[in-house]
Amino acid sequence: MFKSEEAMSMTVTTYLIYLLIAVPLTVWVARTLSHNGRIFLVDVFHGNEDFADAVNRLLVVGFYLVNLGFVTLFLRADKVVVDTRGVFEQLSVKLGIVMLVLGVLHLGNVWIFNMIRNRSQLTAMTTPPVAPNQVLPVADNQPMPYGY
């Protein structure tokens, strides 16, 4: 029974180390993205800082919910950890997958907001800056300019 208790202790140690790394990593990534992404969101929303800040806060909340939910669901280990090598192997797999999920979610957000930004810039480029004043009438006896 001593081996079983030791294995259980190593598994619990792995869980604790995983949570002690994954949760602060998620918080750090969310804060970094929020702080540095603000300028991008202000540009996407045409300088409307209040709206950009509100969207930024909502993105952070969603980011925490998705990532901390994933970290929690991914906590469970399929194998019992019996030694220090097992701790490192479990942690490397679990933390690697958490970091990949964080990266994919970040790239997905950037891609979506870049699409919104490109669409708004395209609309701004196709809209004339000034509406035409009037159309000049063409006299009956005058030829059309440039061969029209």
Whole-number Cα distances in Å, 79 to 8, 10, 88, 90, 99: 11, 11, 13, 9, 21
Cα atoms found within 13 Å of the Cα of residue 141, Cβ hemisphere only: 0
45 with 55: CB under 8 angstroms? yes
pTM over 0.85: no
How do residues 7-20 score in pLDDT, each as one tens digit?
678 888 889 999 99
Round to whole Å and give the CA distance between 21 and 91: 9
Q: Is 76 helix (H, G, I), strand (E, B) or coil?
A: coil
Q: What confidence tens digit (pLDDT) does each residue in 26-58 have?
A: 899 889 888 888 888 888 888 899 999 999 999
Whether 101 contacts 71, CB under 8 Å: no
